[in-house]
C-alpha cells in the first residue's frame, strides 16, 4: 500500500526550504558511511527550486553525503543550454566543490541506445536492489502540461510498459532524443517527490492526482510499489485540488 501526501506552498522559497530540510532529515537517518541516492529531474520547476536551495537553504544539508543520479537527460552535450546536467550543476551545486564521482551523469553526448544501456548497468552496479529493481532513496519528478514525467511521454506505450531500467525516448514535439529511467525504477524508490508550480499546471495536477478515468497519463502511472509519494505543489497549482 503506498502512502500519498500532498503539501502546498505559498511560494518557491518555502517549497525549496522544505525540500532542503527533507533531504537533511533523510541524510541524518543514514548510517555514517552511507550515501543518500537521489535522482533529479530537469525542467523549469526543478530549476527554480534548485536555485532557491542554492541561494537560501544550502547550509541545511550535508551535500557530500549525497550521490546524485539523473532521472532523464536530453541527448545534447553537457555544456549545452538544454542539458539537465548543466542545469543541476549551475543551479544546485555551483560553488559546492561537489565530487565528480558522486554525480552519476547521463552522457547526453553519447549514442542514445548505448548510453541507456550503460546507465542501466551503472544503476545495477551502484544502487541497492530489492532483488529485481534498483532502489533510489529519493526521486524528484516534474510534471509536464501533457501529464508526462521524466521523459515518459503520453502515447509512447512501449516505454511505459518496458522492463528495462533505462530507455531512449523522443520528445513528441521536437523529436529530441532523451535518456530516461523507466516507470518500474521510479515506482521502486523509497520516496517519490513531485515538484509542481504554476497556475497552468492546476488542471493537469488535479487530473493526475485524481487518476482521472480514461486519461492514460504517464504521471498517473507513478504509484510506489512500497514507498511513499509526496506532491509538493504551489498554492496556485493546487487550486483545483480539494
Q: Smaller CB distance to ligand 6PG: residue 17 or 42? A: 42
Give the full edge-to-edge strand order of the sheet including 72-74.
72-74, 177-181, 166-170
Residues 6+ apart with CB under 8 A from 234: 8, 9, 10, 11, 12, 15, 196, 197, 198
Angle at alpha carbon of residue 165, lines to 164 and 171, rounded to 5°: 85
- At closest approach, how far in Å is the CB of 146 from ligand 6PG? 9
Residue 98 cell numbers, joined: 561537489
- At closest approach, how far in Å is the CB of 59 from ligand 6PG? 26
Query: Which of positions 11-40 make contact with ligand 6PG (CB under 6 A)?
Result: none
- At closest approach, how far in Å is the CB of 165 from ligand 6PG? 17
- At closest approach, how far in Å is the CB of 194 from ligand 6PG? 9
Answer whether 206's CB lies under 8 Å from 241's CB: yes
Q: Smaller CB distance to ligand 6PG: residue 65 or 119? A: 119
User: By C-alpha distance, which of 70, 69, 84 is closest to 37?
Assistant: 69
DSSP3 helix / strand / coil % (the chain, rounded to 5): 35, 20, 40
167 scored as a contact of ligand 6PG (CB under 6 A): no
39, 93, 143, 186: which one binds ligand 6PG (CB under 6 A):
143
Query: Pattern of binders to ligand 6PG over 38-77, x per CB under 6 A?
Result: ---xxxxxx------------------------xx-----
Residues 6+ apart with CB under 8 A from 59: none
- At closest approach, how far in Å is the CB of 34 from ligand 6PG? 26
Beta strand pairing status for 138-141 and 228-234? unpaired
Query: Which of positions 75-134 make contact with ligand 6PG (CB under 6 A)?
Result: 84
142, 147, 218, 224: which one binds ligand 6PG (CB under 6 A):
142
Stretch that binds ligand 6PG, among 114-122, 147-155, 156-164, 204-212 (CB under 6 A): 147-155
Q: Cell 549525497 appears where?
A: 66
Residue 186 cell numbers, joined: 521510479
> What distances in angstroms separate CA 226 from CA 14, 51, 67, 128, 219, one per listed residue?
28, 31, 22, 15, 17
Q: Smaller CB distance to ligand 6PG: residue 27 or 192? A: 192
Q: Smaller CB distance to ligand 6PG: residue 65 or 151? A: 151
Q: Smaller CB distance to ligand 6PG: residue 41 or 182? A: 41
Interacting residues with ligand 6PG (CB under 6 A)? 41-46, 71-72, 84, 142-144, 148-150
Amino acid at each position: 500500500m503506498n502512502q500519498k501526501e500532498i503539501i502546498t506552498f505559498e511560494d518557491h522559497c518555502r517549497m525549496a526550504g522544505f525540500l532542503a530540510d527533507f533531504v537533511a532529515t533523510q541524510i541524518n537517518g543514514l548510517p555514517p558511511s552511507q550515501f543518500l541516492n537521489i535522482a533529479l529531474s530537469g525542467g523549469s520547476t526543478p530549476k527554480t527550486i534548485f536555485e532557491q536551495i542554492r541561494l537560501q537553504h544550502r547550509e541545511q544539508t550535508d551535500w557530500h553525503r549525497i550521490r546524485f543520479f539523473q532521472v532523464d537527460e536530453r541527448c545534447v552535450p553537457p555544456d549545452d543550454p538544454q542539458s539537465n546536467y548543466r542545469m543541476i550543476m549551475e543551479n544546485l551545486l555551483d560553488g559546492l566543490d561537489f565530487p565528480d564521482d558522486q554525480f552519476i551523469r547521463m552522457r547526453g553526448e553519447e549514442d542514445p541506445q548505448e548510453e541507456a544501456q550503460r546507465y542501466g548497468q551503472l544503476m545495477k552496479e551502484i544502487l541497492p536492489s530489492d532483488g529485481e529493481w534498483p532502489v533510489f532513496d529519493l526521486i524528484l519528478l516534474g510534471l509536464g502540461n501533457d501529464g508526462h514525467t521524466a521523459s515518459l511521454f503520453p502515447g509512447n506505450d512501449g516505454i511505459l510498459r518496458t522492463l528495462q531500467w533505462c530507455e531512449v525516448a523522443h520528445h513528441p514535439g521536437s523529436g529530441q532524443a532523451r535518456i530516461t529511467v523507466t516507470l518500474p525504477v521510479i515506482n521502486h524508490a523509497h520516496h517519490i517527490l513531485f515538484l509542481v508550480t504554476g497556475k497552468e499546471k492546476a488542471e493537469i495536477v488535479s487530473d493526475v492526482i485524481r487518476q482521472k478515468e480514461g486519461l492514460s497519463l504517464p504521471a498517473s502511472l507513478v504509484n510506489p510499489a512500497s514507498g511513499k509519494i509526496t506532491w509538493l505543489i504551489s498554492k496556485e497549482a493546487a487550486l483545483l485540488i480539494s
